[in-house]
Amino acid sequence: MKVLSQNTAFGGMQGVFQHESDACKCEMTFAVFVPPQAIHEKRPVLWYLSGLTCTHANVMEKGEYRRMAAELGLIIVCPDTSPRGNDVADELTNWQMGKGAGFYLDATEKPWADHYRMYTYITEELPALVSQQFRVDMDRQGIFGHSMGGHGAMTIALKNPDRFKSCSAFAPIVQPSTADWSAPALEKYLGADRAAWRQYDACALVEDGARFPEFLIDQGTADSFLESGLRPWLFEEAITETDIKLTLRMQERYDHSYYFISTFMDDHLRWHAERLG
């Protein structure tokens, strides 16, 4: 693991690291904030998954999580959103596909299947690396994210309820198989058979029997993607006949930006801390 940078913040350490990924077959970069409590003891870990066009840096620089994470003793891990490098397939003129748009799935179609294995990277490879390098209590894990990352967090939690104790999202894509800015990507990554898409769709996973105790979702009412891509009410409908609890907060006048995310970041960190113990 290569250290790209380390900076002291709120008594803890904000680091950026790089390593060779077996899952994605390229160098991957990720950020970790280690609170001061982790100097002496294992601490709970929160995985933050970013949205389309982002890298690890967006939330690290604009998410404003370090002060509260240090107070609560939470380790925050921020992976990249896709594989990177000259050999990685991409669509240069399409921000909804390729680099920056991995959708946290394992692609099965060429040429994407060669590198786009973000689900395996997030759920297997990166946790193994982080647990080796930092004082992480892997029995206390939570996951959250924004937009495409909210989609990733919710689907990963639904598929791994024994691993994660908490899940929340900022403006998640709750039904990517029918959203106009994600369905084309799913077809390219996974093929034309929509049955294969269901494992990466939060609403479909619930319909197919997946369960997770509860979710917190914040959504801005002034979000320009609300009607066409996000539609949190679809997830609210999907869980109606289940025992899944949902706190859906529609935040007046907020948009899709990190001004929105940073405003409610403390709320989410406290919410996760209560559930991680």
Please name the residue ranges forming H helices in 99-242: 118-120, 126-133, 148-159, 183-190, 202-207, 233-238
Q: Write down the catalytic residue from 56, 146, 151, 256.
A: 256
Look up 223 and say whether it is catalytic: yes
DSSP letters along 58-94, please?
Answer: HHHHHS--HHHHHHHT-EEEEE-SS--STTS---TT-
User: Residue with structure tokens 């929509």?
Assistant: 194
For CA atoms 75, 104, 63, 17, the dihedral sign is positive
Please name the residue ranges forming H helices in the chain: 57-62, 66-72, 118-120, 126-133, 148-159, 183-190, 202-207, 233-238, 258-276
Q: Write down the catalytic residue from 90, 106, 218, 223.
A: 223
Q: Write down the catalytic residue from 147, 168, 177, 182.
A: 147
Q: In this structure, how many other beta carbons lie within 10 angstroms of the beta carbon of residue 40? A: 8
Look up 21 and say whether it is catalytic: no
Q: How far is CA 103 from the centre of its chain?
A: 9
The residues carrying an active-site annotation are: 147, 223, 256
